[in-house]
Amino acid sequence: MRYARLARFDLNREGIAAIAVGPEVHRVCREVAQLGKGFAERIAPRSGIETEDHEHYQDQFLIVDVLVTDVGDPPMARRGVHLANLSPKAKLIEVGAANSGAGERGYRVMHRTVEWLGSFGGPRRSRSVRRRMRRRYR
């Protein structure tokens, strides 16, 4: 009986760390965040106020570059991007005023954006499910 030789695998942490903070990962993160920002701006509510000094929730989405340093064991830095909204009413618009007794639900713009971004692929969802998700949030 012949036994197969097993190759030894040595994890190159320095190489993985260099990739995780490299420009390619940053570029991909920004591209995905730009897609998410465009979608969030399309579905975000817009107030009927059209004065020059009024800032709409829809117009206050921002992409912020971040460096996350507490991931893994041992910790390893990685590049990332956050999509944020700087509107003072962001929490009220996102989650609604359910605590006020009115029972109003929020618009959940960020939640719907993450769902929409997740509908683009992966082995977990079929083509018909992805198509339905895209239609749902247009």
Residue spans of the domains in the chain: they are 13-136
Q: Residue 127, exposed/middle/buried by CB under 10 A (0-12, 13-18, 19+)? A: exposed
Residue range 36-55: mean pLDDT, rounded: 81
Residue 108 to residue 105: CA distance in whole angstroms? 8
Lowest average pLDDT, out of 12-26, 63-77, 112-126, goes to 112-126
Q: What pTM did the predictor assign?
A: 0.70
Q: In this structure, are residues 29 and 80 in contact, taking their beta carbons and an 8 Å threshold?
A: yes
Q: For residues 75-81, give the mean pLDDT.
A: 88
| Distance in angstroms (rounded) separating the CA atoms of residues 61 and 40 | 8
Comparing 68 with 135, which gets the higher pLDDT? 68
Determine the residue type at 27: R
Alpha helices in the chain, H assignment, sequence order: 13-20, 23-43, 90-95, 109-118, 127-136
